Structures are given as structure tokens and as C-alpha cells.
Amino acid sequence: MIAIIDYGAGNLRSIRTALERVGATVAMAVEPGIVAAASAVVLPGVGAAGPTMRRLQETGLDDALRQVFHSGKPFLGICLGLQLLFQQHEEGDVPGLGLLAGSARRLPAGLKIPHMGWNQIEPWYSSWNEAGAAQSMFADIPPGSYVYFVHSFYVDPVDPTVIAARTTYGIPFCSAIASGQVWGTQFHPEKSGEVGLRLLRNFVRFCKS
């Protein structure tokens, strides 16, 4: 069973539907017990960093997510969910979950913000060649595939080997990470058509393995 973290913001139906479509059994997690019982966790990305972190702290889901990370269970962060895995978020200078070293930074001035629409992902080969997780994430997904973005911030990891893919929008930025059992995408796989479904199918396969 995969727990989707429900922190009370936005419509999470699309990620639930997409995961069920690729064969997952899912539950919406509004309290830590559901997270603890799950075999894997998805932290989706809807909303702003500050209110989201406050909601996670009020419900105890922040500590539950840290326990999942340290337990070795598969973990997928999507958009804001990826950004909150890191130590700090520039939106209001909000501390994140602190599971990975680095920050979420604002896209440069002069660009149309948010970055919204279809853009390409390119595997970051230093990670691709070294990390089995990156290979599992992008199995059956050709380099240069188009995926759907809606974001104003991007992650800047301290350790570049966690970067699994990059995308260019004014600057090249990290659009996916893979570190051990932890995956993260800046794009929305649930809105990315067949490519996104392939990635979610790969995540479900990764969970089962």
C-alpha cells in the first residue's frame, strides 16, 4: 500500500487516479498511523511551502515522513513535495524536512513565472551511471521526453550525484532526483501523459522489488 500524504491543500485525486491506473493500492494519509502502515509514501506538491510545513507539523506528518525516510521505504516527492525534502525553502525562508542537503531556490528574475507547461527532461549522466535508482526511475523513458511543469522554485542539492535529470528554463535546473530509495520530480508525473504514467509505473515496480 502506498500512502499519499494529504495535508489539506489542493486536489490530490489526479495522483491517486494515476497510481491506481498503474496498479498501486493507495490510501490517503491524514495522520501518522497511515504513514507508518504503508510500504511506500508519496508526498505530492500543491500549495505554498510555509502553510504546507505548518500543516505537516500540526498533524505530526513531518516526523512520520522523517521516519519513512530513515526506514528505507520507497519515497516519492512531487513538485513542492520534492522541494520540502531539502533543508530550506526560499519562499518565506521556511525550513524543510531536512532529509537531503540543499535548498529550494526561486527561478531567476526575467522569466515568466511560474514555469508552466511542457518541457524536456534530460538524464544527468553522472547520476545515471552511478545510481541504480536513477536507472529504475527512467526505465522505458527516452531522454528528451516532455513532461508537465507548474513551479516557481527548483531544488539545488549540495550533492550533485543525487540529480537524476535536468531541464532548461532560462537556466538548467534539477528536475528529478534519485538517492537510494528516495525519488523526486519537479514536474508532475500525474499530469505528464504516458511518460508520467511510465515513471509512476516504475515507482510501483520499485516499491514491489
Among this protein's residues, is 79 annotated catalytic?
A: yes
**Backbone dihedral angles phi then psi of residue 141, each to the nearest 5 degrees:** -115, 110
Residue 29: strand, helix, or coil: strand
Per the CB < 8 A criterion, the answer to whether 11 and 49 are in contact is: no
Q: How many CB atoms lie within 10 A of CB 45?
A: 23
What the block records as the C-alpha cell of 56 is: 505537516
Instruction: Copy the grid coordinates of residue 160.
Output: 550533485
Backbone angles phi, psi at 70, to 5 degrees: -75, -15
Which candidate in 89, 151, 174, 190 is catalytic? 190
Which residue is it, cell 504513514?
35
Residue from 79, 151, 174, 207 carrying the catalytic annotation: 79
List 151, 188, 194, 207, catalytic entry: 188
Contact 187, 147 (CB under 8 A): yes
The set of catalytic residues is: 79, 188, 190
